Amino acid sequence: MEKSVEQTTQNLVDEMLTGLNFAQANPAQLSPLVLAYIGDSIYDLVIRTYLVSQGNMQVNKINRHACALVKAQKQSEMMGVLEEQLTEHELAVYKRGRNAKSYTSAKNASITDYRRATGFEALMGYLYLSGEYHRMMELIREALRGTGEIDEI
């Protein structure tokens, strides 16, 4: 029997928690910048996994496409698509991330794009740590569709 993406993701998370004896983090108790830190990683992993699933191609091409999809400007654009689709709670998590005082600055993005991207990453981190993988993937799919990056997944 074929496993669903949710089952596979849950198996991966279960293995991290038990196999390496990780403690379960409570996302409600984490700072928005910590949520953005893990959210950046999980979003990057989702995008890279998606691109690899599209078939064998040169790693350089995969990396360029991945970088274009994970940069602050693209994440900010995605939030423009998603904001009206968020629940009140998700919107609050996004705003906490967007408004967090970061001690780093945007390298290749405007301050506005950087802050919106931080909010996006905080939301992804919150959903990931909350085990809301289906919702996380639903939002990523809608954001990619809404920005014209994909037609259908």
Among all residues, which ones are annotated catalytic?
40
Tokens of 27: 């996302």
Cα separations (Å) of 86 from 17, 40, 98, 132, 135? 29, 19, 15, 13, 10
Read off the amino acid at residue 121: E
> At a CB cut-off of 8 Å and minimum separation 6, what does 90 contact?
123, 126, 127
What local confidence, expressed as pLDDT, does residue 8 receive? 59
CATH topology of domain 30-146: Ribonuclease iii, N-terminal Endonuclease Domain; Chain A (1.10.1520)
Dist CA 142 CA 96 (whole Å): 22
Asked if residue 124 lies in contact with residue 42, where contact means CB atoms within 8 angstroms, the answer is yes
Asked if residue 100 lies in contact with residue 31, where contact means CB atoms within 8 angstroms, the answer is yes
Phi then psi dihedrals of residue 150, to 5 deg: -140, 155
Q: What is the pLDDT along the chain (153 residues), one digit of tens a residue?
A: 456 555 656 677 777 777 777 777 888 899 999 999 999 999 999 999 999 988 888 999 999 999 999 999 999 999 999 999 999 999 999 999 999 987 777 778 888 999 999 999 999 999 999 999 999 999 999 999 999 887 665
Question: How does pLDDT run across 36-50, given as a tens digit for each residue?
Answer: 999 999 999 999 999
What local confidence, expressed as pLDDT, does residue 1 receive? 46
Number of H helices, E strands in the chain: 7, 0
The domain locations on the chain are 30-146
